[in-house]
Amino acid sequence: MAESKQVVLRTEHLKSFYILDMQGTQKVVKAVNDVNLEIYENEIYSIAGESGCGKTTLLKTLFNEIVPPQRLVDGKLYYRINSEEVDVTTFSAEEKRKLRMEYISYIPQGSMSVFNPVIKIKGTYEDFIGSHVEVKNRDEIFAIARERIQELGLPKNVLDVYPHQLSGGMRQRVTIALASSLNPQIMIGDEPTTALDVVVQRGVIQMLKDIQKKLKNTIIMVTHDMGVHANIADRIGIMYAGKIVEEAPTEKIFDMPLHPYTQFLINSLPKFGDKTMRESVPGSPPSLADLPTGCPFHPRCPHVKDICREKMPETIKVDAEHKVACWLVEEEFNG
């Protein structure tokens, strides 16, 4: 299974910073700092991390939507289009526009602001689909929309209502249906289940999995809820201060977390039937504009050593699928 996997999206030393000019002094927010990813076809890859660790910026960069003050400082971003790897960072605005919806689509977090509140849902569908598909009339667009909506088990009449008439969970599901309507290769979700009720969240996760199974495409999503990761993801990347510090298949992350930060994240979660004391990660996340030297986690790490304060550890492969960037592991691994 692992051998024949096709890489669909690949990044090389991706660096994307926010460069702010404040009255002559330059402030650089290193939101995506040297990220190397390989994301395969037919998988759900999810990225975990605290707020302010650069998750959303990473997604925007992967979506190839970089708007100042965000800038792509360095690195390459490859998509696999028609079995060929293409560097999309050099694409023109029109080329990028063509890829959206059809090749890569985006599911935003706040579904409240996705739909125009003064037009019916079908108006939004018309705008989105109509700008990508050559059709003779509107009915063809609605046929595409209706088909997907019915496949996903949503009520038929959602196209004919205004956004405020739908509950939050329904609106989120309609948003996901919209993002999937042109069968994209990659779907990117920015906290697609956050701010929903637990039962609704379960329904939305169920729907995302259904879509992925049906289209056999790739979903890249970000969430801070480790419970959601455990339920949906095939592989998990743990992000801290703009870097992916650990990456492994879901079972490995939960059974054998190697990075101290991952260990904290997992051990701090309360479990049913277990009332033993849980500790949260000490301290607070660093500012991306003023990163500590060396490993960015060292001020909060209980196992800190001298080298951690000086040098950022290299990402090493513990096994074929498990990567981690930590001096502790490096020492153990290299003897």
> In which element (H, E) is residue 306 found?
helix 306-310
The count of residues in the chain is 335
Contact between 299 and another protein by CB under 8 A: the answer reads no
Contact between 22 and another protein by CB under 8 A: the answer reads no
Contact between 224 and another protein by CB under 8 A: the answer reads yes
b/e per residue 316-329 (b: at least 16 CB within 10 A): eebeeebbbbbbbb
Contact between 150 and another protein by CB under 8 A: the answer reads no
Q: Binding another protein by CB under 8 A: which of 163, 184, 192, 203?
A: 203
Q: Binding another protein by CB under 8 A: which of 39, 59, 265, 329?
A: 265
Which lies closer to another protein via its Cβ, residue 154 or residue 328?
154
Give the residue among 19, 8, 51, 17 at the shortest CA–CA distance from 35.
17
Q: Binding another protein by CB under 8 A: which of 131, 284, 303, 311?
A: 284
We find the least distance from the C-beta atom of residue 169 to another protein, in angstroms, to be 6
We find the least distance from the C-beta atom of residue 266 to another protein, in angstroms, to be 7
* Residues 319 and 40 sit within 8 Å (Cβ to Cβ): no
b/e per residue 105-138 (b: at least 16 CB within 10 A): bbbbbebeebbeeeebbbebbbebbeeeeeeeee
Which residue in the block uniquely carries the two structure tokens 């490995």?
252
Which residue in the block uniquely carries the two structure tokens 């701090």?
268
Rounded to 5°, angle at Cα 165 from 56 and 116 = 50
Q: Binding another protein by CB under 8 A: which of 67, 93, 118, 277?
A: 277
We find the least distance from the C-beta atom of residue 154 to another protein, in angstroms, to be 9
Which lies closer to another protein via its Cβ, residue 14 or residue 121?
121
Residues that bind another protein (CB under 8 A): 50-51, 155, 167-170, 197-203, 205-206, 224-231, 250-251, 254, 264-266, 268-273, 275, 277-281, 284-285
